[in-house]
Structure 1
Amino acid sequence: MFLVGLTGGIASGKSSVIQVFQQLGCAVIDVDVIARHVVQPGYPAHQRIVEAFGTEVLLEDGNINRKVLGDLIFNQPDQRQLLNSITHPEIHKEMMKETFKYFLRGYRYVILDIPLLFETKKLLKYMKHTVVVYW
């Protein structure tokens, strides 16, 4: 199985490229979807975010208020680093679970849609290939 990293800016055409890969029989893992999933109530990252940033980052239904949290970390690199230290390990775990699931199903290629693939650099070493979509 080969891992292929896919990245690109907003409105660059990544969705169209993903559709082509899917039509070719590739599995696709959207890391943005995973990132939203791991911060839902009941997951470890959710609890750790509330412990680190307080209940003021919660909506009435218990979900994370992404705007409030974003405002807290936007101009504060130390707070952004704290949030990343909470969420990134959980995101990586879920990515690995999804990848393994596709491996067991016999997929030859798994496309990982990772918005900050080059900026974070941590996952590049696992990619057989990388695809950058730009407009």
Structure 2
Amino acid sequence: MMTPPSKPWILGLTGGIGSGKSAAAEHFAALGIHVVDADHAARWVVELGRPALASIAEHFGAQVLQADGQLNRGALRHLIFTDPEQRRWLEALLHPLIREEIANNLAQAKSPYAILVSPLLIESGQYTTTQRVLVIDAPQALQMQRTLVRDNTTEQQVQAILKAQASREDRLRHADDVLVNDKDLKALQTEVERLHHFYLTLRGGQP
């Protein structure tokens, strides 16, 4: 009798802004690994026709909708940044839905392990749903430089985002593996491949 394949274990992948976590995730995906992005899940739960969008519109009014009925993220962001009470209301609505979206998506994985990519893996407590944590780390000056180039943003804005994300020490404290991404893309991909081969030898994310 054939034994059914064991369920994929979950690797949490995180890193600060401009650390290269998206590039790392893309390479894992290219190697055939099922990747779920928490940011995408957060966008899906508020798409047109989803119950969450109706609740948001009911609570905040038409000002948070665009003319076509889609969510006006800028307007919503402005409302919740100026009012912590409203931000908590929104988080209470969305966090369980995002968790469910992520879980459903991870459950579809057919690869030996699956990856949950989340910039807030540590802060949101999402790491508790994973069996292992990989942190993509980069020197802060390099994070800053990459983000300024990529997002066409100001240094102050990047500083603000760095402050809001878990401190580097906090992230590293939760890490089972750390990939220092301070060279070029080729070097990052080589490291991802090395980790991938190591992960294939693990059962349930542990050696």
Report the TM-score when normalising by structure 2: 0.60
The sequence identity of aligned pairs, in percent, is 40
Unpaired runs of at least 5, structure 2: 1-7, 139-207
Equivalences for 1:1-135 in 2 at 5 Å?
Answer: 1-102=8-109, 106-121=110-125, 123-135=126-138
RMSD over aligned CA atoms reads: 1.3
Structure 1: distance between partners of 2:42 and 2:128: 21
**Over alpha carbons, which structure has the higher Rg?**
2
Name the SS of the counterpart of 2:46 in structure 1. Answer: coil
Give the paired residue count: 131
Q: CA deviation at 1:134?
A: 2.5
Q: Which runs of 4+ in 1 moved over 6 A?
A: none
Structure 1: distance between partners of 2:111 and 2:58: 39
Name the SS of the counterpart of 2:108 in structure 1. Answer: helix
Structure 1: distance between partners of 2:39 and 2:62: 23
Q: CA deviation at 1:19?
A: 2.5
Greater RCO, 1 or 2 (C-alpha within 8 Å, sep 6+): 1
Report the TM-score when normalising by structure 1: 0.90
